[in-house]
């Protein structure tokens, strides 16, 4: 496998693991990390988060990853799924 691709996949998996821990530890999502599918919707019938959770989630991501996320992200498509959060964090880390 291409070393750059392998490095990207390793980074992505690490970020996914940390996002899952944030959801469980900070937002009281009652699931085991491996039970949180990356394509699970964060809101509604997915993980059931609400708008207050969205703000807390953004703050937790900023603290955990040391990134600055724009306020206009709340409620946008960038926060639709767990995978979207991973993409957002990786994109801000560049």
Sequence-ordered list of residues with C-beta below 8 angstroms from that of 10, at least 6 positions apart, any chain: none
The total number of structural domains that make up the chain: 1
pTM of the model: 0.90
> What confidence score (pLDDT) does residue 74 get?
55
Residue 81: DSSP 8-state: B
Q: Which residue has the higher pLDDT, 55 or 24?
A: 24
CATH number (domain holding residue 75): 1.10.1200.10
Residue range of the domain that includes 81: 3-92
> What confidence score (pLDDT) does residue 79 get?
87
């Amino acid at each position: 496998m291409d070393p750059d691709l392998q490095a990207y996949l390793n980074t992505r998996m690490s970020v996914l693991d940390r996002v899952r821990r944030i959801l469980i530890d900070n937002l009281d999502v009652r699931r085991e990390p491996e039970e949180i599918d990356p394509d699970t919707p964060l809101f509604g019938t997915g993980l059931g988060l609400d708008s207050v959770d969205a703000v807390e989630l953004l703050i937790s991501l900023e603290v955990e990853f040391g990134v600055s996320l724009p306020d206009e992200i709340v409620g946008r498509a960038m926060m639709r799924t767990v995978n979207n959060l991973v993409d957002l964090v990786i994109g801000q880390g560049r």
